[in-house]
Structure 1
Amino acid sequence: MSTSSQQQPPLIRLRAPLLGIILAIGICVVTPYNNIYLQATPLGGGHFPLAPFVIFLLLTVLITILAKIFKPLGFLSGIELLVVWIEMVIGSGIAYTGLARTFLINITAPAHYATVGNRWNETLQPLLPPSLSPSDPEAIEMLYRGIAGGRTMGWFEVLTNIPWSAWLTPLAMWGFFILVGYLVMIFLVNILSRQWIHNERMNFPLLKVPQMISKAVDNGEAGSFFCNRFLLVGIAVPAFLHLINGLSLYYPSVPSIPTLLLAGSYVADRGVLAGFAKLKLYFYPAFIGFAFLTSRQISFSFWFFFLAGGLVYGILDTLGYAIPASELGITFGPTLTRPEEMQMIGAYGIFFLFLVWLARQHLIMVVRQSLFLAPATESHSEWFDVRISFWGALAGFTILIGWYVLQGMAFTTAILLVGAFYMIMLVATRIICQGGLAYFTLTAAPIDGMIALFGTKMFVGTSGLLAGMSQKTLFVDLRESLMPSLVHGRRIHQNKLPAGLLFGSMVATILLATIASVMSMMVLCYRFGIRELQLEWANRTTIGVYENIQRLVSAPIESGNWVYTFALMGALVMLLLVVCYHRLYWWPIHPIGYLTAYSSAMRILWVSFFIGWACNALCMRYGGIHLYRKLQYFFIGLIIGDFLMGGGWAIVGLFTGTSYQVLPD
């Protein structure tokens, strides 16, 4: 009887999803004020965000104490704590860079930033569908300068004074697009979850720490877990580091411990090492911890390809190839600056085909089941029947394509654009989830790949404007994107019941977090004015997008031959990597490392991955799995300590007006 009960899937009670939704909404409401107005330590900032993990730790401690005092209480189990945590993660991503940080600026920039010099009134405004931006110029102007007397108003009073009549139509149109886009992500994750989680048994490094804490709570071992001597030593390292550096910020007489070394001055500007002329060495204990917990093959590949990518510049310089940046033509990539980086276009395409090839049998089965050519199979690897996901994804693609066409985009462009968006999103999700990248940015944007393959003609007129706007809304700033969190959520929900409650609560979290994040951002902007808020990055990157759109629709510049050369080179290199990875069991390099070679995230994290990889390799070589099981607690301590100090200084920043940044912003 006891054996049978142990085999039953864990039952999640309603209290856990409800608490997760409440906390997620709270994070969404507070994040814009904390991150933008107070300039405090960001509550999010990646795929392992600060606020959800700190709250998760505090809840764990609270539950452990209550369990000691009131043993029958059982308020939350360890597995339920995981459910609460992933809902907070989902909300946190939507609240800032994942959507709210640039959304309002994105849909109002063509009107507000139009000048006689840039001629946006003549080139962009006639192409912008009226339903996608507020029709009242005064409503837009108030967004940037603030409501008269807004600073003296209460938050609710500001909310009631927002000119909602001007916003209802654009918010409804964009809200429909965003929610359908999210729904397609859910369907795709549900289709692929069995392949990635069950068939390929993909590792999820970012889930390891929360899962270990959850397991300790369920086993009644939370006290011994947090009192592990290796864990305590690991926590002490970032605690000491950030205590000293935080005090140094507030009291300059306290000497600081450098966590950033500008190494470019030690490298020659020309020659083989010319690509490292701006090299920076960052030290982040938490990311060293993540790197240690990641597969050695993957962590090695990240720093190896970063260095190899830098050598490409130097080798070309040595050979006399000075390739001008003008060869790129018009690009939308967040960090794309040189033609050599267009290798990622070809590499992403080949790796996507590799993922499809790996999942070919599973995808064929899904299609056969969806066409009623094969019987459905029961599995706890999905939230719901894959047949619903298949037809739902097709319907979602159709709706998005129809949305674009109704707004004025060419039909062929709409089909290719939606396909490119989700192709890049799937590859990026695989990189983040399998690689344990809590911080990730794209090099090239989906539109860059389309321009490289098909030229600029398909983005003439409204097509180019809609493509650039919608890409900026959901599909280019992937530092806090939703899809990786959905995959993590699917892994946490696996084999847990009731599946309907878990899925419904996740959908409710997405819907309510989207509404709360946008409204919180609107209230903040209308109270203080975007001009007075610290939104330099959002303004700069959005203006850059519209400058590129103007060039695209008025005087398109085709990409040079070097773009095609490097895109083809990237495709060939990735093809070689995936063949060797799949066929040679001894092959030491993972293909996803190549996909991050030119990412700005890897410029920050490569040192951490090198240290984490080196420690893991030395541990396994000289101590084996026995030493690894002990030493992993030290690196888990680095993660916990970094985030606890980040949370602590975030609270201090709320009262001081100055914030010490623990994690990368």
Structure 2
Amino acid sequence: MSVQTTDIQEPQPLTQRSPWWAIALAVLITVSINAIIPYTHHYMHTISLVEGMIPMGIFMPFLVLIFIVNPVLRALGYALQPWELIFIFAVGYVSMSINELLGRVLATYAVMHYMATPENLWEEYVFGLVQPYLVVEDAKDQLAWFYEGLPRNATIPWAIWIRPTFWWLSFIAALGLGSVALATILRRQWVEQERLPFPFAQVAEELAETAGPKGFPEYMKQPLFWAGFSIPAVIVLWYIIGYFDPSFPVITIGIQNYTISLGRYVPFLHGRLNFLIIGFAYFTDLQVLFSIWVFWILTWLQIGMTNRLGLAEGLGEFAGTRQQALGGFIVFCLWGLWIARTHIKAVFQQAFHQTKNMDDQNELMSYRTAVATFLACALFAMFWLFKGGMTPFWAVLVTVFWFVFYTGFAKIVAMTGLVFLESPSSLGTGIMGFAPPDSLSPNTIAMRQQVGSMYQNGKSFTMPAAAHAARLSINLGNRARVLGLTIAFAFVFSLIAAAASTIYLGYTDGAFNFGSYMFRVAAPRYYDGIVSSIRDIGKETHYGLRMAFTAFGALTMGILTLCQYRFTWWPLHPIGFTVVTFYSARTAILSVFLTWLIKFIIFRLGGIALYRRAKPFFIGMIVGYTLSLIVSMGVDLIWFPGQGHNLYWGD
């Protein structure tokens, strides 16, 4: 069942043009988009630029550069080369997850003093546990203006935001830059040893090809490209007409989600077709696609039987399957590090000058710099959590598993290429669920809830994008180091730009006028969580059951992994077991199944040759869908400001 279609690109000779042009464009685009996203997300309510594993915040500008800007530049004699396009994409990709994470974090550290009331008990249970430097001070009207809008003739009180913003951004930066360093350490293992497919990187490389006439990609001459382009483009553009006339008969295939109820014992079935998922999943290994939809069926049947028999009473709608997914995910993460142990050991030995066996000239940073950066970021994160209130034991354990989970999920993304995906636990605090009842101190509980605001829909922040950037660096040769420095520079400045933009927009428009879930609902819940967790100490009733399902998941993953590595005929990849219970994967199942079926037929009829000939169709589908979303966004900005239409969702 497994058909590996990865084509590892050898570094190509680069033009001698200076990289400064690509550096300037990459930083300008990345920082500007991160500054604009709060406006499009909180005010315009149009196409989301932050959702998904490949955010439109970078993918839209990438396609605009390829199909609009670059042909014009070629006519002027300044065309961007493929390596420059890939350079710009990689820089922006790593930083484009900032706003989704930072938005909720900022909303959380801003809200404590503003929304505290005698009824919610925050002053009694929370104020004494939260470090003052991690929240905006009780500045009365100056804080209220952020939520209600700035009075006439008043100025934005930036001073009250400097301290908490600095400390939160420093922690976020440590996680982000630590992820880039970790991706550098693992790049050779994943790309050259395990040969992970990296579908997003494959598509970016295909799109960046500019060998065609007049600066347009060569694949645009293929009829299959235009066939794939037309299907989503016609549907979305036709749907846009309905913005102006709600009675207009639109086509909703590929846009709306349909749910089917098959009884009270099982979750809804989702029947949404997603053109972007189909396009990218075409570049995914056939066995992985097969495993995702098969494990979804098996999990769905398990939920029904478990609920019917009452075996998971008290564990929620998914009847313990999320707990077992966590157990499986932990084993998957640890196994991935175990099989990479020889490479990781060699990297650390080279970093400490014990050996010099590996050439790191074409990595994002030297192995010595990568190891030093990773260790520094990890130590800072431990110190930050400890000073924030966690005990030393939990500060160390949470930081270690934070990067372990980030690494495991980045590997899942590199293997599946699913546009929408959620990790069973993308925060190191997920490991705290194994703590025996009553074992966590109130200060540790408070810190756990605060950093819970960094959940980001289980997408592991920059790590998946950093892994893809490291994979894309093979196209840059000795300019990979320049890419690494540019990524770090753009990331830090994007953090500052995103925070400043969100604060500015809050004071000019009023954060409560955003209509945003994160400001109205999500942020207060973290402080409510502190209250309820402390009040419920000693009332845990399902700990043993949760641990049993988690252990079962770990055991199942161990057996699946053994079968995967021992039996060549084994059809199921264990990766499917880890993600199928979560919303992002459940809404993608129809698209995954159709893509698997199409690829299966293609390989049966024509093998790898037919697979390669069919690539332009799926690239066209990706391009047609994305460019039509740009049109939708333009229509919203002109005719529907503040009442836009988000057609790109799935987190």
Q: Which residue of 2 aligns with 1:492?
A: 472
Once the two structures are overlaid, the 10-residue window that deviates more, 581-590 or 547-556, is: 547-556
Contact 1:180 1:400 in 2 (8 A): yes
Structure 1 position 77 matched with structure 2 position 81:
yes
1:595 and 2:584 matched: no
- Which one of the candidate residues 83, 107, 110 is aligned to 2:109? 107
2:149 to 143, 146, 149: 146
Task: Choose the corresponding residue for 1:472, options 434, 438, 453.
Answer: 453
Bigger shift: residues 514-523 or 135-144:
135-144
Query: For the residues of structure 2 that align with 1:64 and 1:115, how far apart are their CA atoms?
Result: 56
Q: Counterparts of 1:346-361 in structure 2 under 5 Å?
A: 346-361=327-342
Counterpart in 2 of 1:331?
none
In structure 2, how many angstroms separate the alpha carbons of the residues matched to 1:69 and 1:374? 50
- Post-superposition offset of 1:446: 4.1
Looking at structure 1, the residues matched to 329 and 380 of structure 2 have their Cα atoms a distance apart, in angstroms, of 26
Shift of 1:449: 4.0
| Equivalent position SS for 2:40 | helix
Change in 2 beyond 3 A, CA 1:127/1:370:
same
Query: Which of 397, 406, 410 is equivalent to 2:387?
Result: 406
**Structure 2 CA distance for aligned equivalents of residues 112 and 511 of structure 1:** 29
Match 1:89 to one of 88, 93, 98: 93
Match of residue 212, structure 1, among 206, 217, 221: 206
1:252-401 equivalences under 5 Å are: 252-259=246-253, 260=256, 262-265=258-261, 267-269=262-264, 274-276=265-267, 278-318=268-308, 320-325=309-314, 327=315, 338-380=319-361, 382-401=363-382
Partner deviation per Cα, 1:153-184 (whole Å, 9 max, x = no partner): 8xxxx8xx221221221122222222222222
Deviation at 1:543, TM superposition (A): 2.8
Distance 2:146 2:319 in 1: 36
Q: CA deviation at 1:81?
A: 0.8
TM superposition shift of 1:444: 4.4
In structure 2, do the counterparts of structure 1 residues 379 and 624 end up closer, same or farther at CA, with 3 Å as the change threshold? same
Post-superposition Cα deviations, 1:514-569, rounded to whole Å, max 9, x if no partner, equal: 01111111111111111111212454233333322222233224343210111011
1:333 aligns with none
Number of residues paired by the alignment? 632
Deviation at 1:511, TM superposition (A): 0.7
SS in 1 for 2:271: strand
1:551 partner amino acid: S
Distance across 2 between alignment mates of 1:458 and 1:401: 20
Match of 1:622 in 2: 605
Q: Of the candidates 174, 194, 208, which is equivalent to residue 188 of structure 2?
A: 194
Cα-to-partner distance string for 1:453-486 (whole Å, 9 max, x where unaligned): 222545322211112212323x553447211111
Q: Could you say what secondary structure the match of 1:48 adopts?
A: coil
Change (3 A) 1:569 1:554: same
Partners of 1:51 and 1:374 in 2: how far apart? 42
In 1, Cα distance between equivalents of 2:230 and 2:198: 26
Deviation at 1:63, TM superposition (A): 5.6
Cα 1:218–1:195 change in 2 (3 A) is farther
The offset of 1:90, in angstroms, is: 2.7
Distance change in 2, residues 1:413/1:179 (3 Å): same
**Greater shift in the superposed pair: 447-456 or 201-210:** 447-456
Which residue is 1:167 aligned to? 161
Unmatched runs of 5 consecutive residues or more in structure 2: 1-9
- Alpha carbons of structure 1 residues 448 and 240: separation in structure 2 relative to 1, 3 Å: same
| CA gap 1:243/1:107 in 2 versus in 1, 3 angstroms | same
Q: Which amino acid aligns with 1:229?
A: P
Work out whether residues 248 and 254 of structure 1, in 8 Å CA contact, stay in contact via their aligned partners in 2: yes
The alpha-carbon distance between structure 1 residues 37 and 7, as it changes in their structure 2 partners (threshold 3 A), is: closer
State the secondary structure of the residue aligned to 1:249: helix
Matched-pair contact (CA < 8 Å) for 2:400–2:428 = no
Greater Cα shift, 347-356 or 393-402: 393-402
Aligned equivalent of 1:555: 536
Secondary structure of residue in 1 paired with 2:477:
coil
Secondary structure of 1:135's aligned partner:
coil
Q: How does 1:8-27 map to 2 (within 5 A)?
A: 8=13, 13-27=19-33
CA contact (8 A) 1:452 1:564 kept: no
Q: CA deviation at 1:448?
A: 6.4
Q: Does the CA contact (< 8 Å) of 1:409 and 1:466 recur in 2?
A: yes
Alignment RMSD: 2.5
- 1:215 is paired with a residue whose SS is coil
Which residue is 1:49 aligned to? Answer: 55
Q: Check conservation: 2:279, 2:618, Cα contact below 8 A.
A: yes
Question: What is the identity, as a one-letter code, of the residue corresponding to 2:272?
Answer: Y
Residues 400 and 261 from structure 1, CA distance in 2 versus in 1: closer, same or farther, beyond 3 angstroms? Answer: closer
Aligned to 2:461: 481
Question: What letter matches 2:234 in structure 1?
Answer: F
Whether the 8 Å CA contact 2:511–2:519 is kept in 1: the answer is no
Q: Note closer, same or farther for the CA distance 1:337–1:463 as it changes in structure 2 (3 Å cut).
A: farther
Structure 2 letter corresponding to 1:268: G
**8 Å CA contact 2:405, 2:428 repeated in 1:** no
Q: Once the 2 structures are TM-superposed, how far is the Cα of residue 371 of structure 1 from its aligned partner?
A: 4.1
**CA contact 1:245–1:257 (8 Å) conserved in 2:** yes
Go from structure 1 to structure 2 and tell me whether the alpha carbon gap of 1:363 and 1:487 turns closer, same or farther (over 3 Å shift).
same
Structure 1, residues 200-244: CA drift from partner, whole Å, max 9, x if none?
121110122221122344898735421311010111101111122
Is 1:572 aligned to residue 567 of structure 2? no
Matching of residues 229-248 of structure 1 within 5 Å: 229-248=223-242
Cα distance, 1:573 vs structure 2: 0.9
Structure 1 unmatched ranges of 5 or more: 329-335
Letter of the 2:534 counterpart: V
In 1, distance between residues paired with 2:301 and 2:570? 22
**Taking structure 2 as the reference length, what is the TM-score of the superposition?**
0.91
Q: Secondary structure at the match of 1:244?
A: helix
Instruction: Pick from 623, 644, 649 the counterpart of residue 659 of structure 1.
Output: 644
627-636 vs 563-572, greater mean Cα deviation:
627-636
CA spacing shift, 1:486–1:561, aligned 2, 3 Å = same
- Cα displacement (A) at 1:51: 3.8
Counterpart in the other structure of 2:618? 635
Distance of 2:12 and 2:614 partners within structure 1 = 31
1:418 Cα offset (Å): 0.9
Amino acid corresponding to residue 306 of structure 1 in structure 2: W
- State the AA in 2 paired with 1:421: W
- Output the TM-score relative to the length of structure 1: 0.89
* Contact 2:211/2:218 (<8 A) preserved: no
Q: Is the contact between residue 46 and residue 633 of structure 2 (CA under 8 Å) also seen in structure 1? A: yes
Q: Cα offset for 1:452?
A: 3.6
Name the structure 2 match of 1:422. Answer: 403
Residues 374 and 223 from structure 1, CA distance in 2 versus in 1: closer, same or farther, beyond 3 angstroms?
closer
In 1, Cα distance between the equivalents of 2:74 and 2:356?
50
